Structure 1
Amino acid sequence: MRFRRSAVAGVAVLALALGSGCSDGETGQNGGDSLAKVSYLTSFNTFGREAYAYVALEKGYFKEAGFDVTITPGSGTVDVLKLVAGGQADYGIGDFTATVITLGKQKLPVTTVGMVHQKSLAAIVALEGGKINRPEDLPGTKIGDQPGSTNQVMFPVYAKAAKINPDETKFVANPPPALPQLLSAGTVDGIGQFVVGVPLVEKADSKKRKAVVLPYGNLLPDLYGNAIITRTDLAKDHPDQVKKFTTALLKGLQDTIDDPEAAAKTLKKHVPNTDVEVATAELKLMKPYVKPENFDGALGQVDPARVQKIIDLLEEADAVAPKGSMKPADVVNDALAPKG
């Protein structure tokens, strides 16, 4: 399945090469003549949860900040990190925990400059009447997922928290669009999915069964969800540009959680095959992950102390090694993240 992942990444690179070019020039002001060309990768395809970038584009927030932005569908955290690190994209979205795990294994020149979700969206999703109803049911089952996905990369950490053996759960490589149908047909027992993907899963089931959701965040409450990623050299050499881009993107995020239906319609304008009803339901589910009830900080805020807790957790789960080798500054540029 290494070929499949490489092929997907290759398509994204080609789309970026054809659709945009990175600019080292200064950012234009208020939509002036010298807009900086910026390439952006969604975290995973163009599901409803990605609508906020299109809202920022549609409402002119990027242009007001001085950017001409090209949005390209991403293919999972690992590929997004590699494309940003290699200069094929300027910004991208990736699950923060999967980002830390990946950077613990290979030193890619990327950093986090803001959080989209203050709680992890990662989950295993099954259907009522199947083999999976609780974490203890996972050993001996087959889980469909995209290779390198957040859910698969994080699964050993979740399994340790659930006190089960991760090696006894088999992940079966399948392309994301096919996952709900495979689950409905019983080809797999569960799928790696974000909790906001439940409306899509339930709509795809021919028997109209309810989803069974095992959120990773229930056992790992300190985990962040998706994060805004950029190259370390861009963050170092053009910090003002990074802040402006992040601010514009987060304005789109705020509008999205304020009016999910309008955001879903905006997404459909840019991605015609969008199911507005499903996308709206996704975005409604996403809101408490962007701004949890007990969270009173700024949208996108990053807490270095919490980042350290996540690193400690991953070290204890042997997801990153050796112990003590990673610090928050290795994965987050706190100076560029929004402040409360």
Structure 2
Amino acid sequence: MRLRRSVIALMAVLGLALVSACNGDDKGNQADTGLQKVNYLTSFNTFGREAYAYVALDKGYFKDAGFDVKITPGTGTVDVMKLVAGGQADYGIGDFTAVVITLGKQKLPVTTVGMVHQKSLAAIMSLKGYGIEKPQDLVGQTIADQPGSTNTVMFPVYAKAVHIDPKSVTFLPSPPPALPKLLASGKVKGIGQFVVGKPLIQKADPTHREPVTLAYGDVLPELYGNAIITRSDLAKDHPDQVKKFTGALLKGLQDTVTDPEGSAAILKKYVPDTDLAVATAELNIMKDYTKPKNFDGPLGDVDVNRVKTIISLLEQSEAIQKGAVTPDDVVTMSLAPKS
């Protein structure tokens, strides 16, 4: 009994400490600002591709919508989903296909409410001279990537589409910051990387060899890229809040698409070690994935028929079991942006 009381007391202290940490920031508490505190996770670190959230923060779009937003670097789709599901974050960004695969294997209380990219950014990157020029060259190779990253989770789907055995490729667990240098050094012949990572790869290689990009979206054009993730209960109980937050974030995304250079400069204000040239180049590449040339829907658009196609594709490739998820399990269509 004494042990039980001690455990309860310890949990209470930790709980209070957590609440205190969540409520404290440089802008004061909620009573002073009247703003709803929100914790937001980027999809993967603070690369140039994540600039739109900082743009929304810097230009006051979040504040105008009633939010005091804290942005924290994410570490891949699966981790972002788990942190949102556990309440450590309210919103996050993750690859939609990886979200569907994850929810097909474990029931997490999360949903998506809009798309950042209308085309998948996932890819395997190599360098000229390493012998990887086409998907079939991946057989027998070791690819470095963060465990749980989009590229790793989706690889079996990509492998099936290009007719290679996913087990013929070995993935070496590696932290994101180390990936470009691992590739440049030749310790691995390929890394998991978003297509917008090309400028970063070029900078990391002292000899400036041309990167080789094996983009998942080239063989799987149906796939979306990153999506906006939130908790299922937040979407159900506070739909107006979710719409306002999504709207503010997408305003930042629109400005980023319109002005990549200015958006990279804003990112550098919040992340001082940002390389402006690399971040700007990333954002210029991202334009065509956020608003492809054949896309005429609203920014953030979600097409339920396309979601059905993605689920069917994942079932056919055995990434998920048939009937494991439905569109309603992975996206809240009522909260998705509409024309």
1:314-329 matches, within 5 Å, as 314-321=314-321, 323-329=322-328
In the alignment, the residues of structure 2 paired with residue 19 and residue 57 of structure 1 have an alpha-carbon distance, to the nearest angstrom, of: 20
1:278 counterpart residue number? 278
1:219 counterpart residue number? 219
Q: Is the 8 A contact 2:84 2:110 kept in 1?
A: yes
1:142 aligns with 2:142: yes
**What is the CA-CA distance between 1:324 and the residue it aligns to?**
2.2
Unaligned runs of 5+ in 2: 1-17, 25-29
Q: Is the 8 A contact 2:103 2:325 kept in 1?
A: no
What do the CA deviations read for 1:134-159 (whole angstroms, capped 9, x no partner)? 00101100101000100000000000
Q: Per the alignment, in what secondary structure is the counterpart of residue 70 of structure 1? A: strand
2:101 counterpart residue number? 101
In the alignment, the residues of structure 1 paired with residue 44 and residue 20 of structure 2 have an alpha-carbon distance, to the nearest angstrom, of: 20
* TM-score (norm. length: structure 2): 0.91
2:3 counterpart residue number? none
1:1-340 matches, within 5 Å, as 20-21=22-23, 33-321=33-321, 323-340=322-339
Note closer, same or farther for the CA distance 1:19–1:192 as it changes in structure 2 (3 Å cut): farther
Note closer, same or farther for the CA distance 1:18–1:225 as it changes in structure 2 (3 Å cut): farther
Note closer, same or farther for the CA distance 1:202–1:87 as it changes in structure 2 (3 Å cut): same
**What is the CA-CA distance between 1:207 and the residue it aligns to?**
1.1
In the alignment, the residues of structure 2 paired with residue 156 and residue 178 of structure 1 have an alpha-carbon distance, to the nearest angstrom, of: 23
RMSD: 1.5
In the alignment, the residues of structure 2 paired with residue 274 and residue 176 of structure 1 have an alpha-carbon distance, to the nearest angstrom, of: 15
1:4 counterpart residue number? none
Q: Is the 8 A contact 2:124 2:191 kept in 1?
A: yes
- Aligned residue identity for 2:325: M
Q: Per the alignment, in what secondary structure is the counterpart of residue 62 of structure 2? A: helix
1:10 counterpart residue number? none
- Aligned residue identity for 2:235: A
- Aligned residue identity for 2:230: T
In the alignment, the residues of structure 2 paired with residue 159 and residue 18 of structure 1 have an alpha-carbon distance, to the nearest angstrom, of: 46
What do the CA deviations read for 1:185-231 (whole angstroms, capped 9, x no partner)? 10001000000000000110011100000000011000000000000
**What is the CA-CA distance between 1:325 and the residue it aligns to?**
3.0
Q: Per the alignment, in what secondary structure is the counterpart of residue 20 of structure 1? A: helix
Q: Is the 8 A contact 2:146 2:174 kept in 1?
A: yes
Q: Is the 8 A contact 1:97 1:223 kept in 2?
A: yes
Q: Is the 8 A contact 1:48 1:279 kept in 2?
A: yes
**What is the CA-CA distance between 1:120 and the residue it aligns to?**
0.1
Which consecutive segments of 4 or more residues in structure 1 shift more than 4 A? 16-19
In the alignment, the residues of structure 2 paired with residue 251 and residue 191 of structure 1 have an alpha-carbon distance, to the nearest angstrom, of: 32
**What is the CA-CA distance between 1:333 and the residue it aligns to?**
0.1
* TM-score (norm. length: structure 1): 0.91
In the alignment, the residues of structure 2 paired with residue 327 and residue 186 of structure 1 have an alpha-carbon distance, to the nearest angstrom, of: 42
- Aligned residue identity for 1:223: L
Q: Per the alignment, in what secondary structure is the counterpart of residue 252 of structure 1? A: helix
Q: Per the alignment, in what secondary structure is the counterpart of residue 298 of structure 2? A: coil
In the alignment, the residues of structure 1 paired with residue 72 and residue 256 of structure 2 have an alpha-carbon distance, to the nearest angstrom, of: 19
57-66 or 129-138: bigger deviation: 129-138
In the alignment, the residues of structure 1 paired with residue 286 and residue 22 of structure 2 have an alpha-carbon distance, to the nearest angstrom, of: 29
Note closer, same or farther for the CA distance 1:51–1:115 as it changes in structure 2 (3 Å cut): same
What do the CA deviations read for 1:19-68 (whole angstroms, capped 9, x no partner)? 6349xxxxx9xxx9420000000000000000000000000000000000
In the alignment, the residues of structure 1 paired with residue 22 and residue 213 of structure 2 have an alpha-carbon distance, to the nearest angstrom, of: 38
In the alignment, the residues of structure 2 paired with residue 147 and residue 21 of structure 1 have an alpha-carbon distance, to the nearest angstrom, of: 31
Q: Is the 8 A contact 1:20 1:70 kept in 2?
A: no
**What is the CA-CA distance between 1:276 and the residue it aligns to?**
0.5
In the alignment, the residues of structure 1 paired with residue 20 and residue 43 of structure 2 have an alpha-carbon distance, to the nearest angstrom, of: 20
**What is the CA-CA distance between 1:274 and the residue it aligns to?**
0.3
Q: Is the 8 A contact 1:21 1:39 kept in 2?
A: no
**Number of matched pairs:** 317
1:12 counterpart residue number? none
